[in-house]
Amino acid sequence: MGDAIAAARMLLPLPRHERAAMMDRLLYEAHLADCCRKRLGRSHATYGNGTLMDAAARYPRQDEPFLDDADYLDALLTVLSALRSRAGRAGRGSAFFRTCPLFPREAKVT
């Protein structure tokens, strides 16, 4: 949950209508970093180590509010919805996470 909380804290300062697009961008950046880590054995210079928390760390974030904050819960739901939409309905996740845009000719990333 730490990754989801970090992403939600990063989304909080944004207007609600921009959050889903930013979450998609954050997931893509974390995915690129993960591909780099798996292929090269080190973190990506810009996007970090491939975790959502590390990708979110490069953006301004608000302190974590209490769970009675409706705006925070909306941001957290945006994160969880984006993760769920990419989780796929069968197998180990969607093609988004099984392929690597940095190294497209190589075998699937596992």
For residue 86 the two structure tokens come to 């990419």
One-letter amino acid at 53 equals: M
Consecutive H or E run containing 13: none
Query: 99: Cβ–Cβ under 8 A, 6 or more apart, which residues?
Result: 108, 109
Taking the domains of the chain in order of start, what are their residue ranges?
Answer: 2-98
Higher pLDDT, 30 or 100: 30
Q: Quick check: 88 pLDDT over 70?
A: no
Convert the pLDDT of each residue in 23-82 to its tens digit.
999 999 998 888 888 887 887 777 788 889 999 999 999 999 999 999 999 999 999 999
Full-model pTM: 0.78
At 98 the pLDDT is 55
Q: From CA 102, how far away is CA 13, in angstroms rounded? A: 30
